[in-house]
Amino acid sequence: MIHDPQHTLTAAKPLADMQLALSFADGFEATVSLKDWSRRKPLHALTKPAVFRRAKLDARGGYVVFVPDELELAADNLRNLAVEQSGGIGFERLWNWMARNELTQERAATSIGISRRMLNYYLSGAKPIPLTVWLACVGWEAQHKQAA
């Protein structure tokens, strides 16, 4: 049984130019580029075509595995990357905003004028983050920096 369909992969296919075609259990499909990620030292092995071509899903769809127990990318991070690369606002931005400003979920929701339930949908990736919500976060942060 799939408990988190937006973060469960059903397919991952390596493509040319360090791209992965991804399909998720909720029907979302995307192609992501891993070029930028491969610049990070722990992921540099992805630049080797033989390693990149090994991409396959783990048994539960939670990871794309390149080298078992050494080089694996989590489905939630790949989903966030796919959303960001397509021009959307990934849920990790919201998590980082909360951490940077030391906000609880209750305080974050109140600060930007949404319910805690809706915030949780956004934080989990279950619902896309509207631009207006992200702009409220940016505005809140700017206002509080100016006041400090």
Domain ranges of the chain: 5-85, 91-147
Q: CB of 54 within 8 A of CB of 67?
A: yes
Q: What is the pLDDT of residues 24-33, one digit of tens each?
A: 999 999 999 9
Q: In the numeric block, which tokens belong to residue 58?
A: 């783990």
**Two tokens, residue 127:** 């619902």
* pTM of the predicted structure, to 2 decimals: 0.87
Look up residue 129 and give its DSSP letter: P
Structure tokens at 23: 């399909």
The topology under which CATH files domain 5-85 is NE0471 N-terminal domain-like (3.30.2020)
Q: What is the pLDDT of residues 39-54, one digit of tens each?
A: 998 899 999 999 999 9
Determine the distance from the C-alpha atom of residue 123 to the mean position of all C-alpha atoms in its chain, rounded to a whole number.
10
Span 91-147: which CATH code? 1.10.260.40
Q: For residue 29, count other CB atoms closer than 10 A to its CB.
A: 11
Cα separation, 73 vs 20, in Å, equals 11
Backbone angles phi, psi at 83, to 5 degrees: -65, -45
